[in-house]
Structure 1
Amino acid sequence: MELKHFKKGGIHPHDSKYTSDKPITNAHLPKIVRIPMNMHIGAPAKVLVKAGDKVEEGQLIGEAVGFISANIHASVSGTVTAVEKADTLTAKGVEYVIIETGGTIRNWYDRKFDYSKLPGEKLLEMVKTAGIVGMGGATFPTHVKLSPPKEKKMDLFILNGAECEPYLTIDHRLMLEKPDEIVEGIGIVKKILGINKVMIGIEENKLDAIEAMSKASAGDSSIEVYALRTRYPQGGEKQLIEALTGKQVPSGGLPSDIGAVVQNVATVYAIYEAVVYQKPLIERGLTFTGENVENRGNYKVRIGSPVQELIDEFGIPADHGSVIAGGPMMGLELTDMKFPVTKSSSGIVVLTKKQDYIPHDYSCIRCARCQFVCPIGLEPWYLKVLVDKSLLEEAVDRGLLDCIECGSCSFVCPSTIPLVAMFRFGKGFWRRKQAAAAKQAG
């Protein structure tokens, strides 16, 4: 079996896929949900409800504002107890809709919608209405990604089944349990984009998923399934495109610049549900796991469920270390367990204290390990020097904005320098500076 792979850098941490044999089951219905209005890149949704309102599961409670935004729906039936501002993991002062659960639990799967005669434009509108965003972590509104500029001709759709983050197995389980539905979702995307070539990339540590997706797509000659070498960050868009096609997305560019659109497994499954069952994105699968977590597994969880409710249901060791939203490489540490599950929550990983990453920021010894593993081909050690000295223009010239924040450099650094955190700060500062300059000029 020929294994596809990207050319530059990468690492191979222990994959710790302890839950790959655990079928997806439903988590308990939460007592309350806390639904933030910014679960996507772009403008936050506009709140449509107020305290005291009764809402039904699937009801629109946040309306997309502008093209790059996304609708948000009530994930449970119940009563709105508050609309308040609070912080998220990545932003301050975000509007939340708080709903106390109580009311009808809707059966979304009692009938299928016949969409066979609908044009791609109508299917795209259904995706937009459902509030679907990239569920691999990027949270880019999916209807935007499926609406490339007319001057750019798309000729390839790539399904990202790499799931290269350690511990996470929810996409793996989806490919095993819902392969036919995912292939039907691919068909919907093909119709929206008007293309007839599909490549599916799955890492070699998921041979059963490769077999399942190959079998499900056997009747469609436009779909080819490829085995990828298990190497992090194989699931990065640019790395996956290079591995499968040999093409490179230009610096500062997008996959659409080379005629490709990439979506991950969970997103395509959500597209299938939105069109076939007219179900908005009100729940998602995630992996709840950790070295010493007894009830680790893959669970379907309502959007807005406080992480504390999952901890209460599944349990974690009393002497646990950090709790990570997402995977350990690119995820963020949860500082408050009332933070909710969002559309991007692919996992909750409970580390041991021994596993906790404690940055010391010792002096750089110029070993260049970070440079060897960078999948973009950057010089992280030198970018750190530039960010430290606030030489941001030179840092940008050296590729700061091309950093995908995969964490490979921090992982191998013998001085435990928090390189990714520094690059996030540098990029954020640069963008704020550019926005302020544009505002002053305009």
Structure 2
Amino acid sequence: MRDIKSFVDAGVIGQFPGGIHPPERKQPANAIPLRRLPLPAELVLPLRQHIGPSGECLVKVGDQVLKGQQLTEAHLSQGLPLHAPTSGVITAIEERPTAHASGLPEMAVVLTPDGEERWSTSQPLPDYRQQDKASLIERIQSAGIAGLGGAGFPTAQKLAPQKPIQYLIINGVECEPYICADDRLMREKADEIVAGMEILQFISSAEHILLAIEDNKPEAIAAMQEAIDGKQHISLRIIPTKYPSGGEKQLIELLTGQQVPHHQLPLDIGLLMQNTGTAYAVKRAIIDGEPLLERVVTLTGEQMTQPGNVWALLGTPIEHLLEQGGFKATKSPRVIMGGPMMGFTLPITQVPVIKTTNCILTPTSQELPAAGPEMACIRCGACADVCPASLQPQQLQWLAKARDYDALEQQNLFDCIECGACAYVCPSEIPLVHYYRKAKAEIRNIAREKAKAELARQRFEKRQQRLEREKQERLERHRKAAEARKKMQQEKQQATNENESQPAEANKKPAQDKSSAVAAAIARAKAKKAAQQAAEDHDPKDTSS
């Protein structure tokens, strides 16, 4: 197998397994120029609009804010700040329904626009090549930029790892039916997208840039080709129309002939992928000093009388977009956020645009019939034939229904990109992706609970160790204190004994002196008496003899 460089230099396009060719239906939305909408009555800004934790709110109800002013502070890993999309007043900080299939509420900042569009201060860096790369990554982080073409992974986190990058891949494929936001952006903002691509290349130190566009976008191809003309470090690759060729791993296989190894990331094989919309946002953040405040959203579907692509401020209610798109609801209307393959039906329309919102689809029942009742699997194998990740969807579904999570992980459930190709071809109309998403969520919850339990165990053991250490330290202090007291008592007793012995010695010496004197006196008296007696015995006057 050829290495990546030789494959890329050959200019060939590879293949990935599976895939389908659903109706594209990008007309008429992709034929209409981008337009801006009137400000909505309020903007609802969920604190978390990306993969990762939400930030800490920096504002309170009643605060006047300026356009571009930071509303939250992200302290944790993978966190991103949120900014005010326009000037106005903070009228609420409360739970609101969010852009999710469940419609469950999340904490959000509610901003009422004042219509004045007053900007906060900005710091453009047109000569960004004179800046430190770490400071540029911090600028992208501070701008709140997440991937605008997928799950919303923080862009700065992708740029941070210090690994050699051989190719920076810019994904302009946009393979899902109906969605044409990137298509329209490339047609109208090609030069700015290229500027963003070069910023990303400078930060990542990538050797070369590969720009990939699907062959059903001739106008975008022409616009981008003109923008990169003369730039030898950028190569344009035209990808055959096939779903899901815009998936990260699938596009890598098309461009490099290599598969990303299981449990590894593109970075591990020297590749970095970013979306065209993300490249545009990076350009605005670095060169113009503007945080991420808006994105392009496709309004489409046969219930839209004014389809097209619009600049939607983050926090714009979906109801406002439907109104501006001329939504004419028929019986049992459906509003889908995203495309027909990977999107989800909104339970309510009182939800806002977030950083990952790329399409609002309003199909009629004839245009996009609702799924019928689930029937038994007939083991036709069609799902396995079209799976771009070479999985066994039927087996995964059985294991998911049985809640055999260990087996699901052994069967590489998390390699599933949830493209929906398996469900699209299933004759039994089994909502396969639904089972996979539910199983993934449960596995993540189990892993999260295990991590919490492990953390609690470690904290308990550390606490026990700390208590035991403190006990031993306390006992050692008591022992030392007891020894010190004992030593002090011994010294005190010795001093007392010494003090008591000194007077006795002093009294004993005079007594001894007195006895000696008496004895000497007696001896003298005896000697004197003996001398007298002797004298008497020898007296010459004695005549008795």
3-state secondary structure, aligned to 2:310? strand
Does residue 422 of structure 2 align to residue 413 of structure 1? no
Question: What is residue 35 of structure 2 aligned with on the other side?
Answer: 25
Question: What is residue 41 of structure 1 aligned with on the other side?
Answer: 51
Does residue 405 of structure 2 align to residue 392 of structure 1? yes
Question: What is residue 251 of structure 2 aligned with on the other side?
Answer: 240
Q: Which amino acid is 2:325 matched to?
A: F
Q: Distance in 2 between matches of 1:373 and 1:167?
A: 20
Q: By how many angstroms is 1:45 displaced?
A: 1.6
Question: What is residue 344 of structure 2 aligned with on the other side?
Answer: 332
Q: By how many angstroms is 1:113 displaced?
A: 4.0
Q: Distance in 2 between matches of 1:336 and 1:5?
A: 42
Question: What is residue 360 of structure 1 aligned with on the other side?
Answer: 373
Question: What is residue 539 of structure 2 aligned with on the other side?
Answer: none
Question: What is residue 401 of structure 1 aligned with on the other side?
Answer: 414
Q: By how many angstroms is 1:170 displaced?
A: 1.1
Q: Distance in 2 between matches of 1:43 and 1:362?
A: 39
Question: What is residue 89 of structure 1 aligned with on the other side?
Answer: 99
3-state secondary structure, aligned to 1:140? coil
Question: What is residue 15 of structure 2 aligned with on the other side?
Answer: 6
Q: Identity percentage over the alignment?
A: 39
Q: Distance in 2 between matches of 1:111 and 1:192?
A: 18
3-state secondary structure, aligned to 2:395? helix
- Say whether the 8 Å CA contact 1:57–1:104 is kept in structure 2: no
Question: What is residue 348 of structure 1 aligned with on the other side?
Answer: 360
- After superposition, the C-alpha distances for 1:105-139 in whole angstroms (9 at most, x for unaligned) are 14799996422422322221211111000001310
3-state secondary structure, aligned to 2:238? strand
> Larger relative contact order (C-alpha < 8 A, sep ≥ 6)?
1
Question: What is residue 328 of structure 2 aligned with on the other side?
Answer: 317
- Return closer, same or farther for 1:317/1:87 CA change in 2, 3 Å cut-off: closer
Q: Distance in 2 between matches of 1:15 and 1:224?
A: 26
- Return closer, same or farther for 1:109/1:273 CA change in 2, 3 Å cut-off: farther
Bigger drift between 105-114 and 64-73 goes to 105-114
Structure 2 residue corresponding to 1:430, chosen from 443, 452, 468? 443
Does residue 77 of structure 2 align to residue 67 of structure 1? yes
Q: Distance in 2 between matches of 1:175 and 1:365?
A: 44
Question: What is residue 272 of structure 2 aligned with on the other side?
Answer: 261
- Return closer, same or farther for 1:265/1:106 CA change in 2, 3 Å cut-off: farther
Question: What is residue 227 of structure 2 aligned with on the other side?
Answer: 216
3-state secondary structure, aligned to 2:31? coil
Q: Distance in 1 between matches of 2:133 and 2:238?
A: 30
Bigger drift between 8-17 and 123-132 goes to 123-132
Which is richer in strand?
1
Instruction: Count how many residue pairs are aligned between Structure 1 and Structure 2.
Output: 440
Question: What is residue 86 of structure 2 aligned with on the other side?
Answer: 76
Structure 2 residue corresponding to 1:183, chosen from 186, 194, 217? 194
- Say whether the 8 Å CA contact 2:405–2:443 is kept in structure 1: yes
- Say whether the 8 Å CA contact 2:18–2:385 is kept in structure 1: yes
Structure 2 residue corresponding to 1:194, chosen from 195, 202, 205? 205
- Pairing of 1:103-252 with structure 2 (within 5 A): 103-106=115-118, 113-116=125-128, 117-148=130-161, 150=162, 152-252=163-263
3-state secondary structure, aligned to 1:286? strand
- Say whether the 8 Å CA contact 1:376–1:402 is kept in structure 2: yes
3-state secondary structure, aligned to 2:408? helix
Q: Which amino acid is 1:30 matched to?
A: P
3-state secondary structure, aligned to 2:258? coil
- After superposition, the C-alpha distances for 1:138-160 in whole angstroms (9 at most, x for unaligned) are 10001001112x3x322210000
Q: Distance in 1 between matches of 2:369 and 2:73?
A: 39
- Say whether the 8 Å CA contact 1:6–1:234 is kept in structure 2: no
Q: Which amino acid is 1:342 matched to?
A: I
Question: What is residue 394 of structure 2 aligned with on the other side?
Answer: 381
TM-score by length of 2: 0.78
Residue ranges of structure 1 left out of the alignment (5+ in a row): none
- Say whether the 8 Å CA contact 2:99–2:353 is kept in structure 1: no
Bigger drift between 130-139 and 208-217 goes to 208-217
Which is richer in helix?
2
Q: Distance in 2 between matches of 1:103 and 1:202?
A: 38
- Say whether the 8 Å CA contact 2:372–2:429 is kept in structure 1: yes
Q: Which amino acid is 2:65 matched to?
A: V
- Say whether the 8 Å CA contact 1:322–1:356 is kept in structure 2: no
Q: Distance in 1 between matches of 2:432 and 2:122?
A: 50
Larger radius of gyration: 2
- Say whether the 8 Å CA contact 2:123–2:289 is kept in structure 1: no
Q: Distance in 1 between matches of 2:435 and 2:219?
A: 39
- Say whether the 8 Å CA contact 2:303–2:330 is kept in structure 1: no
Q: Distance in 2 between matches of 1:88 and 1:6?
A: 38
